[in-house]
Amino acid sequence: MVSNGSESSRILNEIENLKSSKIEIERQISVLEAQLRDINGNKDHETNSNSTSPCSPLSNNGDLGFGHGLSPDMIYRYSRHLLLPSFGVQGQSSLLKTSILVVGAGGLGSPALLYLAACGVGRIGIVDHDIVELNNLHRQIIHSEAYIGQSKVESAAAACHSINSTVQIVEYKEALRTSNALEILGKYDIVVDATDNAPSRYLINDCCVVLGKPLVSGAAVGLEGQLTVYNYNGGPCYRCLFPTPPPTTACQRCSDSGVLGVVPGIIGCLQALEAIKVASGVGEPLSGRMLLFDALSARIRIVKIRGRSSQCEVCGESAAFTQQQFREFDYEKFTQSALSASPLKLKLLPAEARISSKEYNERIAKGEAHILVDVRPAHHYKIVSLPNSMNIPLANLEARLSELSTVLKKGEEQTGSGSAASLYVVCRRGNDSQRAVQYLHKMGFTSAKDIIGGIESWAHDVDSTFPTY
Amino acid sequence: MQLTLEFGGGLELLCESVKIHNVNVDPAEDGGDKLTMKSLLAWVRTNLIKERPEMFMKGDSVRPGVLVLVNDCDWELSGQLDTTLEEKDVVVFISTLHGG
Ligand SMILES: [Zn+2]
């Protein structure tokens, strides 16, 4: 008899193999299609055999003698750009010669990369160390289901390539750090910050200042977005505006606060637009101004921000921030948060005040009388919850203590033996539950224990069918 | 003095999730007919901020990471805490976002 476990792992393996074959086949198809387009393009336009190689957009192989270096294929592909009087051949030629680095292939990076590849930026670098997950796909529209579990950079590069095989894509499957940032950013004309955390934003800003690169910075959380261009034409840098990092508790993350998918989409598109403006020298980039987008009220506000600060520690008059100082700067310490957006893992309680999800499961299986308090916000509780739990959000715990005492007393009566019912506290990942237990201990509920790792560990270690989010 | 105060970037969560507040602030509190940003901040803290005031203020100014805009202009350009406000001014407090 074949056990269910080995049968399902065989199927999973086969799915994995088929998925990677599918990706490989799609890649081969797109290369062949590009070759075909090249052959046909040359036939249509009866040009000489000196065709544009699909991988060398920066070369002038296709120069027809009109002085702009655009091949017939390029003229056709970018014709709607060329038809714009204010953009035209000049703007497009500049784009083709520009290199842009996009840091982060997530919600902001997805649309930014798609547009930058489509519009013919000569060389595009993509930096990300993450892999594609199912809960990314509602907003990170460059990725598709076939790439779940694979590198975001590979996935994004394949998507860019399938839109425009003439653009050179450089893949950096690593996190940006002080040790590699100077080398990577140094190879590009413009940097797009599409990251999701404070230390990365300071790191990228400082590196851009040291190297003298314009920085197109976007951010989005919840239903709001922000956009500006830093370090451009004597304008301010990120540190001119925010010399001191905010407290970590003020840094909302999409994985905690949620985000409406289209909101980073809009900001990412605007980042592509600003990068195109800087690259082509057309228009007025959003420097010294900031765009604030509020999706709910459908309002966009463009505000005037301060200029370069003479007291700025990296770009100010007396600032002596060198490459060496940059390499030695500890951005995680400076912002008190990690460069990767990995969730916080607090350790506030002694071991005896904690219990694993497995052990909790064993105890309830034995019929132990207990009360389970779920301290997540009510809208989290509505998504999914453990059976027989009661929801008292951490923010309301203080106000609802008497309610908790009553429930505990009832539980005590039910045990009959007069012994107290146990009190367990759970949250999403096991941080708030520790805060709650700490508070409960202080208020006299000394038996309270937190379930280590929250409902995520329940889903991981006890019930694999339990939904996570 | 009639003012419109707006909170964004998550700061609205400190004032019961209400983003726009049309308020009437008495400039006399400032001992004259002018109202400065410094006294407006104190007024906001007392009258609008319902929780975690440390997420809004640090000392007598806003905490790091909060942009203050007076009539769509960074308050750095108008004198920060010394900025004097006028009837119908719009003051925006916005927390910088990091997500993406
Ligand atoms: Zn600066």
Catalytic residue among A119, A207, A254, A312: A254
Mean pLDDT along residues A400-413: 89
- What is the structure's pLDDT at A467? 95
Q: What are phi and psi of A233, to 5 degrees?
A: 50, 45
Question: Residue A208 belongs to what H/E stretch?
Answer: helix A198-211
Q: What percent of chain A has pLDDT over 90?
A: 76
pLDDT digits (tens, 9 = 90+) for A287-335: 999 999 999 999 999 999 999 999 999 999 888 899 999 999 999 999 9
Instruction: Show residues of chain B in contact with A222, CB under 8 Å.
Output: 10
Which of A 27-86 lie inside 8 A of B, CB atoms?
A: none
- What is the structure's pLDDT at A420? 77
- Beta strands A370-374 and A389-391, pairing class: parallel
- Tokens 């709650």, located at residue: A436
Q: What are phi and psi of A222, to 5 degrees?
A: 65, -115
Q: Using alpha carbons, select from A162, A161, A165, A152 the residue that is nearest to residue A126.
A: A152
pLDDT category of residue A22 using cuts at 50, 70 and 90: confident
What does the block give as tokens for A23? 């990706």
pLDDT category of residue A418 using cuts at 50, 70 and 90: low
What does the block give as tokens for A6? 């080995």
pLDDT category of residue A8 using cuts at 50, 70 and 90: confident
Dist CA A203 CA A53 (whole Å): 36
- Separation in Å, CA A385 to CA A66, A346, B76: 67, 22, 47
- What is the structure's pLDDT at A26? 78
pTM (predicted TM-score): 0.83
Dist CA A167 CA A124 (whole Å): 7
Q: What are phi and psi of B75, to 5 degrees?
A: -70, -15
Q: Using alpha carbons, select from A282, A224, A230 the residue that is nearest to residue A87.
A: A282
CATH number, span B2-95: 3.10.20.30
Mean pLDDT along residues B36-41: 96
Burial (0-12, 13-18, 19+ Cβ within 10 Å), A193? buried
Q: What are phi and psi of A238, to 5 degrees?
A: -60, -40
pLDDT at A383 over 70: yes
pLDDT category of residue A29 using cuts at 50, 70 and 90: confident
- Give the helix ranges, DSSP H, for chain B: 37-47
What distance in angstroms lies between residue A314's CA and the mean position of ligand 1's atoms?
Answer: 5
- What is the structure's pLDDT at B30? 59
- Which of A205, A252, A257, A309 is best to mutate for the B interface (most B CBs within 10 A)? A252
Q: How many CB atoms lie within 10 A of CB A461?
A: 15
Dist CA B28 CA A335 (whole Å): 40
pLDDT at A118 over 60: yes
Instruction: Show residues of chain B in contact with A292, CB under 8 Å.
Output: 8, 92, 94
Q: What is the mean pLDDT of chain A?
A: 91
